[in-house]
Amino acid sequence: MEHIHHVIENLMAGRPEACHLAKALAKQARATHRRMARARSAGFEAYETTITDLLLTELAHVDPRFWGVVRFTSHEERRNGADWQWWIQRSNLSWVCLWIQAKRLYHPSERYEQLKHEVRTGSGGSRIRQSRLLVEAARREGRSGKIQPVPLYAFYNCPQGKRAEPWRCEALEPCQQQSLLGITIAPARRIDDLVVEGKNAYGDVLAASWPLSCLVHCSTTRAGHRPQRSYASTLLTGMEWLHTGDVDLPSTPSLPSRIEEALVTDGEVVAEESDPRIALITGREGLPGARMDEVPKELKELVDLWELEWSGRREML
Ligand SMILES: [Zn+2]
């Protein structure tokens, strides 16, 4: 554990916010891995929705000045297959929207059994692969004059035993870091292609996905440590890196007003047809209702640490 922290801190040296974020994402991946292992050892498998709720709750605590979560009151029938949407603010203060579908790895088959899941569109409508629905619904949303969401998959994993699966992180060594694979992500289009080929095994999907924390450490390494000044811009750099050449990230001038209101009131909001269960919001500027004087303790410690180290170096010069 210490080793992993040490490496992430070295990678993100001098950039406390990116480091704080990379560590938070890595921590959630490890926590997910651990929760799934503990559930399994107690004789059952954790539900995706449970894992998603815990993940988004913890992400909202990364830095409550800039992160928030809003729950939608249940909609009988989701029309897009997404489990959560993620709004991330650009430097020009417009918002990018992602639609994310979560799937867990099944045991002992070590397959994403639900990936081939088909859903019926409308009452008595034809059946469609859920992965195709996610991609198509995002496209349709864009055509209807709303913002076009970027479709994405998040996988919850707890593979058993020693592994020799692909390790796609370019910034960290695989040794002792298997639990970073507790959450992996991939563009939905890549995953839909796999499903068409009939592939849903852990190894096949892993070859097309990345550890969640790579959104920060790999994209940052690739971008040549160009400093990003916020969680939001760091994440958007990561999303662009994840989708290289594949897709642009459209944005809209403002958050849906019902989400903005819910951030102020801490309330649930009534779902529209295309809303998933829950929304995660990452602002570049402070979120409505957030107290801007509350810097998270871990972030404050990181900043202090580096200021101390930096002043020490100056004295040595
Ligand atoms: Zn990485």
Q: What spacing in Å lies between the alpha carbon of 219 and ligand 1's midpoint?
A: 7
Question: Would you say residue 302 lies in a domain?
Answer: no
C-alpha count within 13 angstroms, C-beta hemisphere, residue 66: 21
Low-confidence ranges of the chain (pLDDT < 70): 1-6, 75-78, 122-123, 162-164, 175-176, 222-228, 245-247, 314, 316-317
Q: How far apart are the CA of 177 and the centre of ligand 1, in A?
A: 11
- pLDDT tens digits along 64-106: 999 999 999 876 556 788 999 999 999 999 999 999 999 999 9
**Cα 103 to averaged position of ligand 1 atoms, centre (Å):** 21
**pLDDT of res. 105:** 94
Residue 38 alpha carbon to ligand 1 centre in Å: 26
Distance 66 CA to ligand 1 centre (A): 23
Domain count, the chain: 1
CA of 170 to the centre of ligand 1 (A): 5
Is 105 a member of any domain?
Answer: yes
How many whole angstroms separate alpha carbon 55 and alpha carbon 244?
26
* Backbone angle region of 157, left / alpha / beta, with phi > 0 → left and psi within -120 to 50 → alpha: beta
| SS3 track for the chain | CHHHHHHHHHHCCCCHHHHHHHHHHHHHHHHHHHHHHHHHHCCCCCCHHHHHHHHHHHHHCCCCCCEEEEEEECCCCCCCCCCEEEEEECCCCCEEEEEEEEEECCCCCCECHHHHCEEECCCCCCEEEHHHHHHHHHHHHHHCCCCCCEEEEEEECCCCCCCCCCCCCCCCCCCCCHHHHHEEEEEHHHHHHHHHCCCCEHHHHHCCCEECCHHHHHHHHHCCCCCCCCHHHHHHHHHHHHCCCCCCCCEECCCCHHHHHHHHHCCCEECCCCCCCEEEEECCCCCCCCCCCCCCHHHHHHHHHHHHHHHHHHHHC
Domain that holds residue 37: 2-284
Q: What pLDDT is attached to residue 1?
A: 42
Whats the size of the chain, residue-wise? 317
pLDDT for position 289: 87
- Cα 2–Cα 3–Cα 9 angle in degrees, nearest 5: 90
Within-domain flag for 292: no
**Residue 314 in domain:** no
69 belongs to a structural domain: yes
Output the CA 171–ligand 1 centroid distance in Å: 5
Query: Ligand 1 centroid to 174 CA: how many Å?
Result: 10
Let me know if residue 233 belongs to a domain: yes
Of the candidates 104, 10, 71, the one whose C-alpha atom is nearest the C-alpha of residue 265 is: 71
pLDDT value of position 176: 64
Task: Report pLDDT digits (tens) over 110-120.
Answer: 999 989 888 88
Question: Does 301 map to a domain?
Answer: no
- pLDDT value at position 246? 63
Asked if residue 305 belongs to a domain, the reply is no
